[in-house]
Amino acid sequence: MFGRSEGKSFLYKLQPITDRLPAVTRPEGHVHFRTKMLWVLLILVIYFVLTNTFIYGLDRTQVLDFFASLRAILAGAQGSLVHLGIGPIVTASIILQLFVGAKIIRLDLRNEEDKAIYQGTQKLLVLVMIVVESVPQVFGFLRPSAGFVMALDGFVAGNGLLLANILIIAQLFVGSYLIFLMDEVVSKWGIGSGISLFIAAGVAQAVFTGTFNWMPSQAGSAVPVGTVPKTVYFLNTMSAQEIMGGGYEVILLQEPNPLIALVATVVIFLFVAFFESTRIELPLAHGGARGARGRYPIKLIYASVLPVIFVAAILANISMFSLLFWQHPEWPLLGGQYWLGAYPSPNDPLVLSGTIQPTTPIGGIAFYTSTIAGLQDWLLPLIAPGSYGSVFATFGKSSFQIFIHVIVYVSIFIVGSIVFAIFWIETTGMGPEGVARQIESGGMQIPGFRRDPRVLQRILARYIPVVTIIGGAIVGMLAVGGDLFGTVGNASGTGVLLAVGILIQFYEAIGKEQMMEMHPILRNFFGGD
């Protein structure tokens, strides 16, 4: 449908549109390291400004933040211009990469013309996904204020609500597209990826505030929100008898930000740092310069941590649309179907008391694919259903169903991370063939083997596919492990995993940029200008 058996891809017909889309031009020459760092810092400041710029006309008291548990991953802020975060960008990237990887869209990304078509189509698809994700948000979860609607009624009698929704969608569109353009600025003029930068910034903020925030957790309460001040508060105010009689349980397990979540966050940090530094190094020698040697590192987490972003984005979209269908039973086929996803009523006593959120699925496919946020969502109800299982028991969930939820969620993350890791290396030129061409074009070869890309490809094929699968499984297990045990600041296991991996890669990218600044001849090997 999207490609042809002969000639150019069908996507070439979209070129008159994609060529006219706003884009950030590439620098004509080499951008100095200091300039790149300034661009990164500037974009980071603009990003935080956008996260604190709320949508005009929005009723903040009625905002239903469906993506609350995914905020750190999607790099958005509730009710702000970047409410959607990087969701549309990631979703568009997933769709296009899957179609190209499966050869449904026939594009050769080694060809500069096909690569340009791919990038232009991705921009167009991002615009489509912004609309696809913003419309359900506005008509399902983001409500305009009554005053805003009444003011617009004065301009278009009887259509104030519709116009208010359209204006909110327009603001979401502008904010999301600004995120996309800022990502391009960082990619072309800065260091690394803008998407990665926004994720790391959001997660770092969530982890820091979740650990050290001394503000009260509730109005009228003296208990701080942050793990460290909360622990100090309980140790200072509780007697030794109270601590032994249940105080340890309060400190370790009580939300928000229990001590077990801080421990899990630190453990994930250490594991990611260890796995990121684990690699296989292939010896290389220059074919034309005797004595010139080097090494090509194949990291254990070869496909980086990006596969878990793809998995999280897919699960988020499944949950969002299932909630939208549940809220509109009048829609044909899927409207109000329990098997797709069921949610508690806004007037349910548990919802009104804040025990459970109205966006928490309680049945159907959405329940079994929903995010697990800490021990209180699975382990405690399983080992002590009388004390911790009341919420699930109220909605008819047995221990067996909770156990199946855990198995399904863990399986989706691990298998999905492996699948997306494979697709990622195949569609980005990180496979054996692409790496062999890169090494050969740099004039390098493996000592003891003749200089031939096919020989290099056969040697790399022994390592890269295996490392890709193992690395995908590892990042999937680390992400889901953080969700099972909880993380401070509700950053989620995926968020902490991504932030640590991104920061390590950013540090390595800075080192490489500084090295190329000192030795410009190295730019040729790394593809620089």
Confidence bin at 5 (pLDDT 50/70/90): very low
C-alpha–C-alpha distance, residues 425 and 304, integer Å: 10
Please say if the pLDDT value at position 507 is more than 90: no
Please say if the pLDDT value at position 456 is more than 60: yes
Please say if the pLDDT value at position 91 is more than 60: yes
- The predicted-structure confidence for 199-248, as pLDDT tens digits, reads as follows 898 888 889 999 999 988 777 788 899 999 999 999 999 888 887 777 88
How many of the other CB atoms lie within 10 Å of CB of 12?
17
- Overall average pLDDT of the 183-211 stretch: 90
Please say if the pLDDT value at position 439 is more than 90: no
**What's the pLDDT at 266?**
93
How many of the other CB atoms lie within 10 Å of CB of 379?
17
- Overall average pLDDT of the 28-43 stretch: 90
Please say if the pLDDT value at position 459 is more than 50: yes
- The predicted-structure confidence for 285-307, as pLDDT tens digits, reads as follows 766 556 567 788 888 888 888 78
**What's the pLDDT at 394?**
63
Confidence bin at 1 (pLDDT 50/70/90): very low
How many of the other CB atoms lie within 10 Å of CB of 29?
6
Does 344 or 159 have the greater pLDDT score?
A: 344
C-alpha–C-alpha distance, residues 318 and 323, integer Å: 9
**What's the pLDDT at 521?**
56
pTM of the prediction? Answer: 0.78
Burial status of residue 254 (CB atoms within 10 A of its CB: 0-12, 13-18, 19 or more): middle
Please say if the pLDDT value at position 455 is more than 70: yes
Which domains can be identified in the chain, with CATH numbers?
34-190 (1.10.3370.10), 261-529 (1.10.3370.10)
**What's the pLDDT at 7?**
59
Angle between helices 492-518 and 259-277 (to 10 degrees): 40
- Overall average pLDDT of the 269-279 stretch: 89
**What's the pLDDT at 127?**
92
DSSP 341-362: -B---TT-HHHHTTSS-TTS--
Q: Retrieve residue 137's tokens.
A: 């948000």
DSSP 418-450: HHHHHHHHHHTT-SHHHHHHHHHHTTEE-TTS-
Q: What angle do CA 370, 411, 297 make, to 5 degrees?
A: 115
Q: Tell me the range of 44-48, 249-253, 370-374 where mean pLDDT is highest.
A: 44-48
Say what percent of the chain tops pLDDT 90.
28
Say what percent of the chain tops pLDDT 70.
91
Question: 134-139: long-range contacts at Cβ-Cβ below 8 A with a sequence spacing of 24 or more?
Answer: 134/84, 134/169, 134/172, 134/173, 134/176, 135/169, 136/320, 136/321, 136/324, 137/66, 137/83, 137/84, 137/172, 137/320, 138/165, 138/168, 138/169, 138/172, 139/165
Confidence bin at 390 (pLDDT 50/70/90): low
C-alpha–C-alpha distance, residues 15 and 20, integer Å: 8
C-alpha–C-alpha distance, residues 104 and 102, integer Å: 5
Single out the residue of 477, 479, 475 nearest to residue 467, CA to CA. Answer: 475
- The predicted-structure confidence for 101-135, as pLDDT tens digits, reads as follows 767 788 877 778 888 888 889 899 999 999 998 88
Q: What angle do CA 263, 267, 273 make, to 5 degrees?
A: 150
Helix (H) / strand (E) containing 295: strand 293-299
Please say if the pLDDT value at position 48 is more than 80: yes
Does 486 or 218 have the greater pLDDT score?
A: 486
Confidence bin at 337 (pLDDT 50/70/90): very high
